[in-house]
Amino acid sequence: MSYRLSNDHIHKDLQGRSSYDADVIIAGSGPVGMAYARTILEKSPSATVLMIEIGSQDDPVVGEHHKNSIKFQKDIDAFVNVIKGALQSVSVPPADTYIPTLVGDSWTPPVNKDGSSSLIFQGSNPNQIREKNLKASAMTRTVGGMATHWTCACPTPHPEEIVNNPIPKAERDELYVQARKLLNVHNDQYDKNAKGDDISIRHNVVKKTLLDNLPQERNVQSLPLGVERRRDNPAYVTWTGANTVLGDQAKLLGTKRFTLKTETRVTRLVPDEIDPKKINGMLLRNLKNDKDELVTARAYVITCGAIGTPQILANSNLAGSIPALGRHLCEQSIAFCQIVMKNEIIDYIKKNPDWQARIKAHHDKHPKDPLPIPFADPEPQVMVPYTSKFPWHTQIHRDAFSYGDVGPRADARVVVDLRFFGRQEVLEKNRVYFAGDSSLKGEWVAGSTDIYGMPQATFEVERSQKDKINDQRMMKDMCEVASLLGAYLPGSNPQFMDPGLALHITGTTRIGKDPNSSVADPSSCVHAFKNLWVGGNGCIPDSMGANPTLTSVMIALKGAGAILDFLKTES
C-alpha cells in the first residue's frame, strides 16, 4: 500500500540532508496545534514552524469559527447542517445490503457462512464489533479542526476530573489562566452589558429559574465560553476559533517562519537509524496530486485529535515502543432533551419591568407576535457544574449540535436544550486500535484503511457497571431539572445519545510519569523519544464530564514550553 513505503527508500532520502525544513513541524491546525505554534513563534523570534493539515482551508480567515457568520447567528438551527457536513465517521461496520426487491441479473454481495450478506464500502470497518463501537465518533478535517464548529464551552474541571494529571497544581493553575486568555474565555457575555442592562432575556430567566429552584450547592452559573460580544454590533458575538488562539502570529503565515500545508496527509514518522530515541523525518502525502514528500525538523508535534494522533503513531510502527497507545480511552455519555418553557416563565418575562422597553419595541415592530421575546434575543448559556454529589456536567442552552434542531415543531425562542455529560471509568482495556498493528498480528485485511488511506480505527469500548449506574442517576437528574423549566418538546424526550457523540475522547495519548501506563511525560513528550510531542484531548489522562478543550490547551502550553527548552539545547 502507498503509505507503507520501505524504510530503505525513506532513509536513503534522509542521507546527506544538511538543513531542516523547519525547527518544528506541527501536524494538525486545531486550537491545540495553534497553541503550540503561537507559543513557539512568540517566544523564540528565530524559530520556524511548518504546520500540516489534512483538510482544506474553508474560510478566508485561517481556522475561524464558521458560526461567526451572521446568517448562523440569526438562525442557529441552520448551523446544524454545517456541523453534519464537517463530521466524518471514524468506525462504521459494514451494513446488511440484502435487497429483497432487486431482481434480474444484478450483482449482489455473496452470502457469508452465517447467512448474512454485507458489503465493505470505502472506509467501512469489517473488524468493528457493534457493541464495542463509539458509533457516533467523528473527525473534522479542515483548517481549524473542530474549533470551526465547537460550542466554545470552557468550564474549569472539578478536582475529581483531574486526579491523574501529573502537572503540579500550582503550575496547572497558571497554565489554565494562560489557556483562558488564548481561548478568549468569558462567562458574562449573556448576562449584563456595561450599562447594567440584561443582554439576554432568555439567558437570565433560565438562570434565575434554576437558581431559585435548585439547591445552592448545585452552583448554577453562566457557562464559560470562548466568545466575546462584538463592539460594532453587540447583537452578535465572535466565537473563538483556531485563529483566535493563533492571534497576531497569523501575520507570519506565508513567511519563512510559518508555513501551512493544507490537504496534506501526515503518513508516518521516520525514526533515526542510529539513535532510536530520535525522530528523523516525517513522510507526507499531497492529497491533490498523490505525491509523497519527506520533511525534517528538530522537533515534531502531532495534534491530530484523540484518534488521528495515535493513528499516525501506529502507522509509524511505534506502537511496540508505546505500550499505552490508544488505551485508557474515555468518552462521555450524553443525556439529552429539549423543553418548551412554562407559561409561568413567559408570564414572568411579560411582567418584568427591566424588560418592558425592549418588549414594547419588539411588539411595536411585530404586533402579531404573541411572544414577549425579541427575535434577536441571545440564547441562554447556563451551566450546572460537576460536583462530588452530582458527578456530571450540565449545559442548558440553545445551541447547534449535529442533533437537536427545532425545525418547524415550535418557536425556537421558547425551546431550551439540556445536555448532561457523564464520565466514564478509566480502564486500560477501553481502547482504539488500528488495522495492521499488533492487535491484528500484522495481518492486513480487506477494508483495513479509512477513506484517507490510513489504517482503520477500531474501537473496543464498554461502559462499566459503575458507569451505567451513574448514567441512570444523571438521567433522573436531567428529568428533574427539565421539569423546572417546562415540558418536553415532542421528538426530543429524555434520551441517551449514541456513544461517541460527545466527541470528547480522552486518554488515547495520555500524559503521565510511567511509560507503561502513559504515552507521554507531563510535558507531552512521548516517553520513547526525545523530539516527539503529542497534543489534544487524547493527552488528558482523566475521565471528564466537563468539556476538555480548555484542559487540552493548558497541557499544550506546557508542551510548547518544553519544546522551546529543547530547541535551545539543540541549536
pLDDT digits (tens, 9 = 90+) for 221-268: 999 999 999 999 999 999 999 999 999 999 999 999 999 999 999 999
Greater model confidence, 106 or 120: 106
DSSP per-residue codes, 506-522: B-TT-B-S-TTT-SB-T
Q: What does the pLDDT average to over 331-338?
A: 97
> The C-alpha cell of 365 is what?
415592530
Give the model's confidence band at 571: pLDDT under 50 very low, under 70 low, under 90 confident, else very high.
Answer: low
pLDDT per residue over 64-94, tens digit each?
A: 999 999 999 998 888 988 999 999 999 988 7
Instruction: Provide the 3-class DSSP secondary structure of residue 383.
Output: strand
Query: Which uninterrupted H or E stretch holds 9?
Result: helix 7-14
442517576: which residue's cell?
Answer: 473
Greater model confidence, 414 or 127: 414
Residue 439 confidence (pLDDT) above 80: no
Q: How far apart are the first and last CA of the chain?
A: 37
Q: What does the pLDDT average to over 172-179?
A: 98
Q: Give the start-to-end residue ranges of the domains of the chain.
A: 1-91+117-187+238-332+427-460+504-571, 189-222+333-422+462-498
Number of neighbouring beta carbons within 10 Å of residue 191: 16
Answer yes or no: are the C-beta atoms of 247 and 185 closer than 8 Å: no
> The C-alpha cell of 341 is what?
418553557
Residue 412 burial (10 A CB sphere; 0-12, 13-18, 19+): middle
Residue 373 confidence (pLDDT) above 50: yes
Percent of residues, the chain, with pLDDT higher than 70: 90
* CA 502 – CA 423 distance, rounded (Å): 11
**Angle made by CA atoms 473, 421, 205, in degrees to the nearest 5:** 95
pLDDT of residue 444: 37
Domain made up of 1-91+117-187+238-332+427-460+504-571: CATH architecture: 3-Layer(bba) Sandwich (3.50)
Number of neighbouring beta carbons within 10 Å of residue 13: 16
Q: What does the pLDDT average to over 465-471?
A: 96
Single out the residue of 520, 506, 500 nearest to residue 548, CA to CA: 506
Give the model's confidence band at 97: pLDDT under 50 very low, under 70 low, under 90 confident, else very high.
Answer: low
pLDDT of residue 438: 43
Instruction: Provide the 3-class DSSP secondary structure of residue 159.
Output: helix
457493541: which residue's cell?
Answer: 131
Residue 372 confidence (pLDDT) above 80: yes
pLDDT per residue over 508-523, tens digit each?
A: 999 999 999 999 999 9
Number of neighbouring beta carbons within 10 Å of residue 255: 9
What's the length of the chain? 571
Number of neighbouring beta carbons within 10 Å of residue 565: 10
Greater model confidence, 438 or 99: 99
Percent of residues, the chain, with pLDDT higher than 90: 80
pLDDT of residue 118: 64
Q: Phi/psi at 566 (nearest 5 deg)?
A: -65, -45
pLDDT of residue 19: 78
Residue 446 confidence (pLDDT) above 50: no
pLDDT of residue 163: 97
Give the model's confidence band at 402: pLDDT under 50 very low, under 70 low, under 90 confident, else very high.
Answer: low
Residue 437 confidence (pLDDT) above 70: no
Give the model's confidence band at 138: pLDDT under 50 very low, under 70 low, under 90 confident, else very high.
Answer: very high
pLDDT of residue 473: 98
Q: Phi/psi at 205 (nearest 5 deg)?
A: -75, -35
Positions annotated as catalytic residues are: 504, 547
Domain 189-222+333-422+462-498 bears CATH identifier 1.10.10: no
CA distances, 3 to each of 169, 175, 269, 289, 292 (Å): 42, 38, 11, 15, 9
